[in-house]
Structure 1
Amino acid sequence: FGPDPIEYRAERGLIDFGEEMGIMIQEVVGTRVGDYFMPAFAGVAFSRNEFRWSPRISRDDGLVRLVPGLGTRAVDRLSDDYPVMCAPGQPGLRVNVSVDDVLRYTPKKIDVINLTKNSFETIEVNELLKNFGYDMPMIKRLVSIHKAGYISKPVGSHIDFDEDDLVVTFDGLISDTPFIKQIHDMLKLLEETIGHPVDIEFAHDGKDLYLLQCRAQSPSDGSVAAPIPKDIPDDRMVFSANRYISNGRVPDITHIVYVDPDKYSELAERDDLIAVGRAIGKLNKLLPKRRFILIGPGRWGSRGDIRLGVKVTYSDINNTAVLAEVARKKGNYTPDLSFGTHFFQDLVEARIRYLPLFPDDKGVAFNEKFLTRSPNILCEITPEFASLQDTIRLIDVSAVTNGKVLRVLMNADLDEAVGILSSPSDETTKGTASQMFAEHASDSSWRWRFQMAEHIAATLDPDRFGVKALYVFGSTKNASAGAASDIDLLVHFDGTPKQREMLEQWFDGWSLALGEINYLKTGYKSGGLLDVHIVTDKDIEQKTSYAVKIGAVTDPARALPLHKKK
């Protein structure tokens, strides 16, 4: 192993777990275009969409990331270029609508294989189009023409590759071919068959669509569904939300930048409204990167009527960890939010979390007292914007909470998010009981379950219940359990019917107790957390049912040390 996988395994406590890897070699899909070999286009698709840019898009609508040429630029997140994104279930709801946004976020580079040099290369799309545009398959479906402030699909068969201002939009592919429906149907079929959300990689050579890879959709870094604890004390809750939530966890926010919606709406002069945006840009440069949250009214990045939201560009907010938009009711009207669409793709590529807040909804929390009455250090950090201190509030979370930080937890499965005051994540909790039930890191669901399985085994009296051995298997044993996973136990039983009845009652008690603890920790409800399977000597001898897990060559159950009498 190289240092990266070793560090990854060490961080997750997997050093002692066996792991194997297979290698698959595939032929590159594509055709020759001049000196290069490449597919017409390629990309990745996900059956679940964690980056919804409209309230009309659901998670089940999926997500496609498209690029011309090799799909490497769709898989990797790049700081200097963008893929075209589309929700297969809602292909008409495009991320970028305005001409300026389309031009900014169009793919400008393309990955190819240089046949003369026998090497992988990244080249400019415009350079390739001017030299070999007539040789590129499906080119009419991939590009649009920018002319006189408008962007339109090519009409007829002629494209002037020397004179036309061409941009890669995939408009023809998305609107005039069955491709998007094919991808959507493929994702649905694979998810239904596998029984789990999937992601796929694909390529198209101009004639045929090739499925290159399909695997269970795994959350990207920081995009795991965070457990949502229950019974959070009021003095620790800053906000909660229950609409349009994506997955994510931001553990250690040290500063809150809060633009008060009421005070912002009271600003009479346009210069003052613009100054708010300039102040945000200055704070963005001064505050610790990815350690602060921006909470503001309406639509961040408003360009026309800036009373709808703070006028900022992406460079003014690119260091924040979370961008939150607040929609306060005005009479019976709740204003629309932008869902980050003014710089949505920048947020996605930079993994900045977007969170819509509706403080006037029933069942949500919004600690306005904390946000408006905590000491404001804006004048200390940016004295030139002292006149805006009633509108912009800068809160040093640690200073006003005796060392705590703001932790944002987001769970799309529950459609819930919370912002809570908590101890920094690098602090350890002392005491055996506290360690068992304390807040854990994102990979702790399996770890806590494994600890509980070991604890159950250590307290089980084998003689009393007629138990010869106890095993753990499944996601808890394989270190892949999530917040909603069961603990799978396998009991080798050799006792009387009465002992079996008592044993089942004993496990039922543990199951209900652990289920309640898991609910308080994560928000996931269950009728119990244990999935117990009892096997006998005969089952093991005949290798029936779950007994095959004991001593299996592949993925065997793991024995747990039982209680020993002193």
Structure 2
Amino acid sequence: MPHRISEILLVASPYDSYLIEEDGLIYEQIRREYNGLGLLHAPEVTHVSTAAEAFELLRSTRFDMVISTLHIQDMHAVKFAKALRSSGYTMPIVLVAYDNTERKSLVSRHDASIFDRVFIWQGDYRLLVAIVKSMEDRLNVENDTNVADVQSIILIENNVRFYSLYLPIIYTEIFKQSQRLIAEGVNLTHRNLRMRTRPKILLCTSYDEAWAYFEKYSGNILGVISDINFRRQGVHNPEAGIQFVESVKKRYHDIPALLQSSNPEFKDRARAIGASFILKDSPRLLHSVQEFIVQNFGFGDFVFRMPDGRIVGRADNLKSLEERIREVPIESIVYHSERNHFSNWLKARTEFSLAHQLRPKQVRDYQSPEGLREYLVTSLVEYLKSRTRGIIADFDKDSFPPGGFGRIGGGSLGGKARGLGFVNNLLSKYRIEEKLPDVRIFVPTTIVLGTEVFDQFMAQKELFAFALTCDDDAEILKRFLAAPMFPQKVVRKLGDFLEVVREPLAVRSSSLLEDSQYQPFAGVYETYMLPNNDPDPEVRLQELLKAVRKVYASMFYRKAKDYVRATDYRLEEEKMAVIIQKLVGSRRGTRFYPDFAGVAKSHNFYPIAPQQASDGVAIVALGLGKMVVDGGAAVRFCQKYPRHVVQFFSSNETLKTAQHEFFALDMRAPDTEPSSPTAQQAPYEDPLIKLYPLEVAEKDGSLIYTGSTYSYDNNVVYDGISREGDRLVTFAPILKQGVFPLPEILDLVLELGSWSMGAPVEIEFAVNMNPAEGPKEFGLVQMRPLVLNYEMEELNVDQHKPEDLLVQSDQVLGNGVKRNIHDVIFVDTENFDRAESARVAEEVAAFNALLTKQNRPYLLIGVGRWGTLDPWLGIPVTWDQISGAVAIVEASFRDFEVAPSQGSHFFQNLTSFDVGYFTVNAQHGFIDWNWLREQPAVSTRNFTRHIQLDKPLRVLINGHKNRGIITKPGTDELS
């Protein structure tokens, strides 16, 4: 193999680089894959953030491949690739997109043929290995076929998302096969030969490209995996795959071939020519491809020696290397040091900085050889410490530090855990707590169950196939809770973790697709909290395992399936990692909760002067953050202008909109009767998360930091709770009197997060004002990129007469034009009753199910806040209940206005699905209610009506100015 990719230049924002590198684990995974092949050198990845840095590095360093993402800070990725080629660089250039939306947007605007290949990254570390290997295979196939008679597999697929899924699967199976062959080698030479003769994979996107490979290497083709509809002679041919396999079979009838298509009519055609067939829409597509490959397509340790060749020890990692150096005879250490064996071995493991540190050291530099041993041990210990600082290491209870961040099991961390790990890395690297010494800013103690644990759990008793097809959430939960098998190693590790952490825990989802920039899957999967206080360790362990099972089950609930169905993804692609995290807060009586929690964004979608969008926004509430993310009553403020809280502009508005109750974790046993929860629990909500009145918080001593008092005597709201009167949560002690530097912390963390991710960000946090020891605590529990459209066309929405408009607002989210809307679902304000808002949600959900099934997009109009937790603030729909709406309008109640809840999961999904979102009140536009009521209704329910229009409505939104209109049918289009 003359062409080896040893040096990779990764050009990406720090966050994009972090996603690919997966907390440093990617290097270990690549090394393992390479060790499985017996290769001596895994590639080193060098990361830069800008094109300017890339060109500067290229002038002094030789790179074998360049990987670029779309998020380069100073130049568009296409322009960067063209600049590389015009500068004479010939190495492969690969583009990695993080979402099919990104890729489609690129292809629609630019010629992407400048890249050797485009891939879609979905959190599977194996894709990077596959990218490297596919490029090496293309470069080496001629030489290796001629010299070593290697076999090749032709993969024909022009869909980027599919070949990004297929390549890791095919390479994984080839690597497994290679390992089996290596074990069968009769001697070292034979084993080395087998290491280097694994089959090549030749990725093609057209008939002509594939046929050229077949003509050249026809005697060495192991098999064919092909799509059916792709280009032949420059023209799309709907039967190109059939024709290719037919031609191959005429020459070599025994070559196995797999054809896949979204059209089931090709099944018989494929079988007629001797090929297997898989339907691309099958929920078991990936498994079927893997099964076909298995059925049809038939380095190492550091060895300590004495000068005479005797073996006195082995080490397979840095920790065991340190242990062996402490105990082997000094003659062995001198022998290896004189020959630079330590530095060479470290280089092969990509531990370059430590290798460079050790290489210059000679025995003569020390007074005695024992001085060299001491130096080697000290260097290894310090290096291991520095390598684990701020990263996610494999969990071991003996070495797990207080406040540590670890993992159990292989595979991906999932999107949410990646964001947490990235924050943990940032806090460690930049030490921002030094700027605020009176506050501890941290990521709470966390372990993550990798997706391999999920894979092992789902493999039992056809659980995966059942969950994919079952529509009964209760039955899914029952089956998952009854599933007996958990990997015993994982169970032991979880038991060890519970020995280390005895405080309450949050068990949270972290799927592969969660917190992606374009579909964040916010609130789709479940979170459960555990008191973790039973005196019996086995009881605590079983409660934890039960919570993990419930998180796994939530991936297959109806609302999750409905959400995935509305995206470009398929549920089969999804995998679930699980975050197990120590809760931030304190115990008060039978309750556990933080003094306050919230969400903050570096971009404000609805700024109010003097605020600007880039100033950001925060939404906070007393108690657990569920009040905020579920759209309940909370305080909304801009960290740049903390005293400017618009929602409290009068005493009456403060009384109406302020928080009057809070969420906390009930620390009693799950079967204990609740004290009187003030809201009904949904079937799968956490039964231990309960609502309590503010009187309880006052008795607990937590209201003092966030509370105010309303006096009925003079209709005034006073800061603090020293007076008699009704208690309200306004955060006045913090925002006005500065008892805690919350605005400063948010400003600092959001600025750092936005810079490092190369995009606006959102964080979730919790604050403990009175920890058992140490300073006040600000715990970061999540960071994710925000969904923004930076390539927005500025539309003119002013060239319409008011009588031609159904809706007009200058408080609108979204951008662009939405046409062909013939259906409107609206909540009739004349008979709306806030006490019946839950029934309104059910009616809307029924209309949504009907129109979604008919594939009819619709406009949704209602009063109050859509998606709120509090039924008195609006209509408590969940995302799956309104998923077919392409635009949503929320109007104020007759007696008071409700601000949009930017911190809710519902709001995040609005932005990710590009749903137009209009807020209409006395200050921001109008709705022509009379026109709506005049239209004949297709269906009328108690509170809602469905009208169907002969001519379509149009939605026009100017995202630059946050203004929008909805025109009535028949209105002439104006540009």
TM-score (norm 1): 0.47
* Higher RCO, Cα 8 Å, sep 6+: 1
Structure with the higher helix share, 1 or 2: 2
